[in-house]
Structure 1
Amino acid sequence: MAKQQADFNDTYSRGIARFVAGLEYDAIPAEVRERTKLLLLDAFACGLYGAGLQWSEILQRSLGRLDDTRACTVWGTGQRLSAPNAALVNGTQVQGFELDDAHHRGVVHLGAATLPGLVAIAEARGGMSGKDFLTATIAAYEVGPRVGICMTPDHIGQGWHPAGTIGVFAAAAGAARALRLDVERTIHTLGHAGTQSSGLMAAQYGAMVKRVHAGHSAQCGVLGAFMAEDGLTGIRNVFECEYGGFCTTFSRSTDRFKLEELTAGLGQVWETMNVSLKFYSCVFSGHTALDAIREIQDERPFGPDDFEKIVVHGSQVTVDHVGWKYHPEGMTAAQLNLPFCIATLLLEGDVFVDQFTQEAIFDPRRIALADKVEVVNDPAITARGGRYRHMVRVEVFFKDGTKLERTVETSRGSEKRFAPAADIVSKFEKLVRHVLPEAQMAELRDTVLNLDRLDDAAPLGRLLARR
């Protein structure tokens, strides 16, 4: 027993917990705090737009029948639910239309998993300042990616959906910091998260439940933190445990993960700065190819009738994730299929919310055009590892016998090509106008961009509600 206790005192799980429990606003570089406000703005916009989507409305109705609590806002609606259920719905809404952020190397959506729980805690408990809200957000955005980096791209390659399996740790870290839990209770919060991890990538082939995975993470983070606060214990060495621990179980191995990455650079290297934003309403793995097509069009304008075929050379993860033959199985399949998204760009000139309609996903011309796009593994790109998993080389073979190609490593909005603040505000306004009146939209925007001045973050819930 003494040896077991000693092991628990020197684990990566404890190292993460120490960071989360000890993180203070003033220790965070100013550039990280300012970047986080823009990430918040983007996530709130995605969640508000997602309120009116079919799968979100189903979830709102289902939980509304089960839960008559009125503590927390369902964003973009007049509905209120308990903190865990509001987090479930709002996380689903943020991930609801392939618009939300991602950490590429960690392969995880952070805003959808994290922010719904933090807003719910702010509403349910009160007394969380804007600075504390930002600090809790950053704690989550530092922990989540490191778990994904530890697990390597093999994790999604094996069929796990990181929004649900990795995102749950971001949610737990944020919720634990929001509740000001000590190191021990933060360890138990992480332990609760690990045992609730779930999410299968088979959902990408048309299932609405794919959208719910991040919401489930948000819900588990809130529940885990509340349970740990009250003394319910979790797995204390959730990452390291050799039998049934997160890393060995989800990698199906004893060595296809890197435990040292869990705490590498904590408090010194800020992974929050490596979170990317979307300017296409589709899966991130396709954005570099869409950018490449646009660059080729800038050199030689062309449309759907001008080429024989398009070949996208990418990593094996890209091929497996988005390179499959398109079948009209629902909106999820359309937004997660690269050939369909390229066909959409060529026919519509953009790949944003207005281009994805129920009619479009069954459009024979779009499906025929998608059949002219091939996605193939490039061993040289695959060999470059997870940092380059979105890199592509796109070839367009024209009917006149000529060919143009373009290589793109990172997409617009990615950590290496992060968008100007004005572009992020513009995206926010473009999405939120669908849901909120202009005055409320402006108040929400200004509140988020000045969040560190708020004595109490609870009013965020009011601003996210449809009046």
Structure 2
Amino acid sequence: MNKPLDMQTLVGLKDPAAELARFVVSLKAEDIPSEVRARARHHLLDAAGIALASTKYDFAQRTFNAIAGLGGSGRVPVIGMPMSLAPRDAATVNGLLCHGLDFDDTHLGGIVHPTASALPVSLSAAIHTGASGRDLVTAAIIGIETSARIGAVAKGGFHQVGFHPTGLVGAFGCALAAGYLFGLSERELTHAQGIVLSFASGSLEFLEDGAWNKRIHPGWAAAAGITAAALAKQGFKGAGLPYFGRFGLFASHLGPLVEQCDFSLAAKDLGQSWEVLNTAIKPYPACHFTHACVDAAIQLREQGVQPDEIVEIEALVPAEVVKVVCEPEASKKKPANSYEAQFSIPYLVACGLALGKLTLTELEEPALTDPAILALAQKVRYSTDPASPFPRAYSGEVRATLKDGRTLTVREEINRGAPDRPLSDADILEKFRANAASSVNPAAAARIEAAVLGLDDCTDVEASARALAG
């Protein structure tokens, strides 16, 4: 049986559920600095662009058919599709679309993709309540802020025991985002967190065979969050200690690793330090843990290293990410599908060295069965990086040993896109336009871009959101 968290560990700390509820209920749009709001709108645009690109894949249509078949149409647009669903159903599908290509933003400390659930839940709740675009952006910031902080408490522990924080802690952020738009009281917001404790989920078992489960985790988190907020609004009572309890989030999911948690991170500097500024936009459509090694491999290629010169490749990665992107070695060196490839250091490093790039094209046929890429992937072995700054940044280093006896090394101490090396707003616009171009014409992409970036000045979210259908 689980034991209560050591009270010595918790001395001087206030209950995060109460602290987060108090933050949400007292937050006003004008309390959020303009630069934070502007950056948040660009994160929303990034997520929308990924959703547009996702609509071209089989998983998108199958998910829509399943969810629509259960509930029928509604008022909330599905991004990139000329269809609308009921709020909870739209949140589910839109969450899947935003995360479907593993190209969405990542809060490095929380190891969570926050916007992929914060945008869908805020869009659905805003249309459901008739909120303004300014309120929608505020709610999305709340979702990003709170899920990032709750994830950061675990200090990477959830991944070590097989849970995906994006689905798990994302549900709590979504409950608070929806609760803000529903006008919940502080007490009701606290109950919403207790309710969503029983809904939050997300297993990493998909890593074993490239299954689609992970894709839907943000959508499920959004659906769980909006449901919990709706229940709390009607007086449904939630568990009193969703974080600190004997069977609360951390004790029940982390087991002995709960001892490494830093519970102060849940509410530290709330309203003063904004986690959206610590959330990284991805330059590559693959697990964020791999990006530094991909960049290092591409740089080696740019330095003139040719695949046929290479005898061996060593990739140094943070010890905390080995289970996700390096093991089991056999399947990582020969991924069976695009999703396995997105979580494979050997395959992605091989792409960087062989092709000098990594786009969505390199994650599909014929690249996945390209003999030259797969032969190079067989030469990749991994080692843990003793100097990694993880989780502040996801470092990576690639060492290529050549036939002439030389060993060439490139290290990325801070991965591109991390808070210390952020992509610019212009970079984000370029990424959005490239993703959108795979799904909609330039005029439609321009309408979506204007609608998302103009949300703070929008009084009719439902009308503006129609542009999202493409």
The TM-score range, normalised by the shorter chain, is: over 0.9
Q: 1:95 offset after TM fit, Å?
A: 0.7
1:323 maps to which of 322, 326, 331: 326
Q: 1:120 offset after TM fit, Å?
A: 1.3
Q: Which residue of 2 aligns with 1:372?
A: 379
Structure 2 residue 348 is the aligned partner of structure 1 residue 345: no
Q: Secondary structure at the match of 1:459?
A: helix
- C-alpha contact 1:23 1:139 (8 A) present in aligned 2: no
Q: Any residues of structure 2 matched to 1:33-112 within 5 Å, and which?
A: 33-112=37-116
Letter in 2 for 1:74: V
Separation (CA, whole Å) in 1 of partners of 2:461 and 2:358: 34
Give the alignment's Cα RMSD to 1 decimal: 1.8
Separation (CA, whole Å) in 2 of partners of 1:225 and 1:460: 24
- C-alpha contact 1:76 1:435 (8 A) present in aligned 2: yes
Q: Which residue of 1 aligns with 2:366?
A: 359
Separation (CA, whole Å) in 2 of partners of 1:84 and 1:456: 20
- C-alpha contact 1:279 1:352 (8 A) present in aligned 2: no
Structure 2 residue 391 is the aligned partner of structure 1 residue 394: no
Q: 1:10 offset after TM fit, Å?
A: 5.4
Q: Deviations over 1:160-218 (max 9, x none)?
A: 11111121122122111122211111112212222211111121231111211111111
Separation (CA, whole Å) in 2 of partners of 1:102 and 1:247: 21
> Bigger shift: 416-425 or 349-358?
349-358
- C-alpha contact 1:251 1:257 (8 A) present in aligned 2: no
Q: Which residue of 1 aligns with 2:301?
A: 297
Q: Which residue of 1 aligns with 2:340?
A: 333
Q: Deviations over 1:44-87 (max 9, x none)?
A: 11111112211121111111221113222221112222111111
Unaligned runs of 5+ in 2: 1-10
Q: Which residue of 2 aligns with 1:239?
A: 243
Q: 1:358 offset after TM fit, Å?
A: 3.7
- C-alpha contact 1:119 1:460 (8 A) present in aligned 2: no
Letter in 1 for 2:183: R
> Bigger shift: 354-363 or 255-264?
354-363
Letter in 2 for 1:21: V
Q: 1:13 offset after TM fit, Å?
A: 0.8
Letter in 1 for 2:174: A
Q: 1:385 offset after TM fit, Å?
A: 4.9
Letter in 1 for 2:340: A
- C-alpha contact 2:29 2:134 (8 A) present in aligned 1: yes
Q: Deviations over 1:265-286 (max 9, x none)?
A: 1111111100101111111000
Q: 1:332 offset after TM fit, Å?
A: 1.1
Q: Which residue of 2 aligns with 1:14?
A: 18
Q: Secondary structure at the match of 1:458?
A: helix
- C-alpha contact 1:70 1:82 (8 A) present in aligned 2: yes
Q: 1:454 offset after TM fit, Å?
A: 0.9
Q: Which residue of 2 aligns with 1:3?
A: none
Structure 2 residue 422 is the aligned partner of structure 1 residue 418: yes
Q: Which residue of 2 aligns with 1:26?
A: 30
TM-score w.r.t. length of structure 2: 0.92
Q: Secondary structure at the match of 1:405?
A: strand
Structure 2 residue 313 is the aligned partner of structure 1 residue 310: yes
- C-alpha contact 2:106 2:280 (8 A) present in aligned 1: yes
- C-alpha contact 1:123 1:459 (8 A) present in aligned 2: no
Letter in 2 for 1:361: L
- C-alpha contact 1:92 1:213 (8 A) present in aligned 2: yes
Amino-acid identity (%): 29
- C-alpha contact 1:207 1:330 (8 A) present in aligned 2: no
Q: Secondary structure at the match of 1:311?
A: strand
Separation (CA, whole Å) in 1 of partners of 2:400 and 2:43: 35
Letter in 2 for 1:409: E
Separation (CA, whole Å) in 1 of partners of 2:41 and 2:254: 34
Structure 2 residue 289 is the aligned partner of structure 1 residue 282: no
Q: Any residues of structure 2 matched to 1:387-466 within 5 Å, and which?
A: 387-388=392-393, 390-466=394-470
Separation (CA, whole Å) in 2 of partners of 1:81 and 1:252: 39
Q: Secondary structure at the match of 1:386?
A: coil
Q: 1:437 offset after TM fit, Å?
A: 2.5
Distance 1:323 1:394, change over 3 A: same
Q: Deviations over 1:361-393 (max 9, x none)?
A: 233332221111111113343xx55324x1123
Separation (CA, whole Å) in 2 of partners of 1:286 and 1:158: 20
